[in-house]
Amino acid sequence: DAKTTQPPSMDCAEGRAANLPCNHSTISGNEYVYWYRQIHSQGPQYIIHGLKNNETNEMASLIITEDRKSSTLILPHATLRDTAVYYCIVTTRGATNKLIFGTGTLLAVQP
């Protein structure tokens, strides 16, 4: 699986958009980008995933660059409850479905 690089921490004002970057310059053609988040004292929670097209769901939007070497998770209107560690994971959709987590980005939403 390709390695990902994320900033260790970011701040965002409540009500503003939170844009979380992820670099995955060694991504291969059959690898997907997955985002999970982990709120304090809870297990990780799936947010969104994509291959090469931009994706949007009720939680967030995922923007993947044309060369697929980086992506951005966008929380359009961050709330205090979005304070969490956000993990970007690149993996194939193989038989194992095993996810390898890095250390993620701690997003602190400020009131």
Partner 1 sequence: DTGVSQDPRHKITKRGQNVTFRCDPISEHNRLYWYRQTLGQGPEFLTYFQNEAQLEKSRLLSDRFSAERPKGSFSTLEIQRTEQGDSAMYLCASSATGASGANVLTFGAGSRLTVL
Site for partner 1 in 65-104 (CB under 8 A): 85, 87, 89, 91, 93, 96-104
CB of 91 to partner 1, least distance (A): 6
| Residue 46 touching partner 1 (CB under 8 A) | yes
| Residue 40 touching partner 1 (CB under 8 A) | no
The closest of 91, 86, 64, 66 to 75, measured between CA atoms, is: 86
The Cα–Cα gap between 20 and 74 comes to 6
* C-alpha pair distances (Å), 64 with each of 49, 69, 71, 80, 95: 10, 8, 4, 26, 24
Determine the number of helices (DSSP H) and then strands (DSSP E) in the chain.
Answer: 0, 9
CB of 8 to partner 1, least distance (A): 10
CA 110, 16, 39, 102 dihedral sign is negative
Q: Given the complex with partner 1, which of 17 and 56 has the nearer CB atom? A: 56
| Residue 29 touching partner 1 (CB under 8 A) | no
Q: Given the complex with partner 1, which of 19 and 49 has the nearer CB atom? A: 49
The site for partner 1 (CB under 8 A) is made up of 32, 34, 36, 41-46, 49, 85, 87, 89, 91, 93, 96-104
